[in-house]
Copies of this chain bind each other. A is one copy, B any other.
Amino acid sequence: MKIAILPGDGIGPEIIEQAVRVLNALDEKFEMETAPVGGAGYEAHGHPLPEATLALAKAADAVLFGAVGDWKYDKLERALRPEQAILGLRKNLNLFANLRPAILYPELAGASTLKPEVVSGLDILIIRELTGDIYFGQPRGVRTAPDGAFKGEREGFDTMRYAETEIRRIAHVAFQAARKRGKRLTSVDKANVLETFQFWKDIVTDVHSEYQDVTLDHMYVDNAAMQLVRAPKKFDVIVTGNMFGDILSDAAAMLTGSIGMLPSASLDANNKGLYEPSHGSAPDIAGKGVANPLATILSAAMMLRFSLNRAEQADRIENAVKAVLAQGLRTPDIYEEGTTKVGTKEMGDAVVQAL
């Protein structure tokens, strides 16, 4: 089993370091190889996703990814900016299914900006399609408007599109995930306005016939954004497209107030995957030793579960994380009075210890 380790930028290297330590503390040893990505890829090889990095990611059984991005690359042309690495990896590795749990650990209920009764015990799973939609749809660009009220003017344009296969496969992932949980799936669309999402809704409804034990409902994206704020615990599994999923999964993560705790998985059709924390590269605190490594450590646990088929090891890591929370250890992002503030490395130490 070979794992590609892509630390990236900002706090990426420090949090990945702790996750690697945790993996190394397991009985079984995994082969790991590290490569630069994002700004680090650009510095090393002039491209955010260097060829050797992509080749490594393709050859590996799973990818553990830190975070990419730094303001210092803001002036680069878009194709060279760090975030292109993550888009390139998703597309090249066919990672069409993004699983983003939004879980509120009981010990951290106070960290949320929402009232405890609204969010305590929150446990929802957002499944975002990740290789289609307006993220990748062609044609796109800036052109002279060919028609419409502003014909002849400059305009920016993009194409939203979803083919039947793309919708079917993500729907299957979502129904299967719902089946293993609360058996309720909410498909989020904008079928009242968009042709793409009327089509989406029709296909998801069709796939539902194979999962009659799962309750399916459909919700417009604007309403979903409201319901996440109003009564998030009413959701079990949410499935949606790439663009809506980008927005809703971040909103859902923020409901917990502890985005530093949330892992994510991006899977292909064979459960090969890329695993990364839900938070970003936080260049403002990079190198200070204060970043929370738990989302990355929990991403490593997801990797063991989904791609490496080591559910037991995944459980061990997840339990170790729960144990350090129970011990009252907190990095600054989740610190509250009465708990013990620790840094990135101490948090890693504690998880290794708890294993």
Distance of A198 from chain B, by nearest CB (Å): 7
Check if B158 sits within 8 Å of A154, measured CB to CB.
no
From B113, B162, B248, A225 is in contact (CB under 8 Å) with: B248
A58-66, A130-138, A209-217: which lies at the B interface? A130-138
**Which residues of chain A (275-329) have a CB below 8 Å from chain B?**
none
Check if B142 sits within 8 Å of A199, measured CB to CB.
yes
| A92 contacts B by Cβ under 8 Å | no
Give the residue name and chain of the B residue nearest to A229 (CB): B254
Number of copies: 2
Check if B250 sits within 8 Å of A222, measured CB to CB.
yes
User: Which residue among A141, A154, A228, A229 has the maximum number of chain B CB atoms within 10 Å of its CB?
Assistant: A229
CA distance A79 to B260 in the complex (A): 45
Which residues of B lie under 8 Å from residue A234 when comparing CB positions? none
Per-residue B-contact encoding for A54-85, CB less than 8 Å = 1, 0 else: 00000000000000000000000010010100
From B155, B164, B196, B231, A163 is in contact (CB under 8 Å) with: B155
Give the residue name and chain of the B residue nearest to A166 (CB): B150
Which residues of B lie under 8 Å from residue A149 when comparing CB positions? 163
Given A114-B115, A165-B150, A226-B253, A195-B135 contact (CB < 8 Å): no
From B113, B199, B221, B222, A156 is in contact (CB under 8 Å) with: B199
Per-residue B-contact encoding for A240-272, CB less than 8 Å = 1, 0 else: 000110111111011101010000000000000
State the 3 A-B residue pairs at the shortest beta-carbon distance, nearest first.
A156-B199, A150-B163, A156-B196
Point out residues on A near B: beta carbons under 8 Å: 78, 81, 83, 87, 113-115, 118, 134-135, 137-138, 140-142, 145, 147-150, 153-166, 190, 192-200, 221-223, 225-226, 228-231, 243-244, 246-251, 253-255, 257, 259
